Chain A
Amino acid sequence: MSPQQTSPKVKRRTVLQVLLSIPALALFREHAVPAAEPPADEFVEINGWILKRSDLA
Chain B
Amino acid sequence: MIFDSFESFRSNGFKPKVIVIGSGPAGVTIARKLGAAGIPVAVFEAGAADYTEESQDFYKGTTVGDPYFDLDVTRLRHLGGCSNHWAGWCRVMDAVDFEPKAWVPDTGWPIRRTDIEPYLDEVHDILDLVPFRDDVPISDDIRWVQLIKSPAVRFGEKFGPEIQASKTIALVLDTYVTELQGDGSKITGAKIWSAGRDQGVATADYYLPCTGGLENSRLLLWSNERSNGGVVPHAEALGRYWMEHPQFEGGNAIMNNPDQFEMDDVSEAFFSPSLQAMEERQIMNFGVRFIKMPYHGAKWLVAELACLAPETAEWTAESIGAKLRCAAQLYVGWEQSPRADNRVALSASARDTLGIPRIELHWKKSELEHRTLLEGLRLFGETLAAKNYGRVRIADWVLNGDPYPTDQELAGHHHMGGTRMGDDLTRSVVDRNCKVHGMENLYVGGSSVFATSGQCNPTTTIVALSARLGDHLVRTIGQSAMLR
Contacts and interface: CB of A to CB of B under 8 A. Distances in A.
Co-complex (A, B): yes
A15 B394 CA distance: 57
Contacts of A23: none
A39 B392 CA distance: 17
B382 interface: yes
Of A42, A50, A51, the most chain B CB neighbours within 10 A belong to: A50
B393 interface: yes
A57 B394 CA distance: 22
Contacts of A47: 304, 308, 393
Nearest to B307: A47
A57 B385 CA distance: 15
B391 A49 contact: yes
Contacts of A57: 310-311
Q: Classify the secondary structure of B's interface with A.
A: helix
Nearest to A57: B311
Majority SS at the chain A contact face: mixed
B130 interface: no
Given A56-B309, A56-B311, A51 B396 contact: no
Contacts of B311: 54-57
A42 B309 CA distance: 14
B394 A46 contact: no
B395 interface: yes
B382 A55 contact: no
B159 to A, nearest CB: 47
B316 to A, nearest CB: 10
A53 to B, nearest CB: 10
Contact of B395 (A43, A48, A50, A52): A48
Interface residues of B, number: 22
A43 B385 contact: yes
A50 B391 contact: yes
Interface string B384-406: 11100001111110010000000
Interface in A6-47: 39-40, 42-43, 45-47
Contacts of B386: 39, 42-43, 52
B312 interface: yes
Nearest to A50: B381
A51 B385 contact: yes
A47 B310 CA distance: 14
B281 to A, nearest CB: 11
A49 B378 contact: no
Most chain B CB neighbours (cut-off 10 Å) among A39, A42, A45, A49: A49
A49 B393 CA distance: 4
Interface in B309-342: 309-312
B376 interface: no
A40 B396 CA distance: 21
A48 B399 contact: yes
Contacts of B395: 48
A49 B392 CA distance: 6
Nearest to B386: A42
Contacts of B378: 45, 50
Given A46-B308, A46-B309, A47-B393, A52 B385 contact: yes
Contacts of A43: 381-382, 385-386
A49 B382 contact: no
Nearest to B315: A55
A50 B308 contact: no
Nearest to B384: A50
B305 interface: yes
Contacts of B384: 50
A56 B384 CA distance: 16
Contacts of A51: 308-309, 312, 385, 391
B80 interface: no
Interface of B: 251, 304-305, 308-312, 377-378, 381-382, 384-386, 391-396, 399
14 contacts: A39-B386, A42-B382, A42-B386, A43-B385, A46-B308, A47-B308, A47-B393, A49-B392, A50-B381, A50-B391, A51-B312, A51-B391, A56-B309, A56-B310
Given A50-B384, A55-B312, 17 more contacts: A42-B385, A46-B308, A46-B309, A47-B308, A48-B394, A48-B396, A49-B308, A49-B391, A49-B393, A50-B377, A50-B382, A50-B394, A51-B308, A52-B385, A52-B386, A55-B311, A56-B308
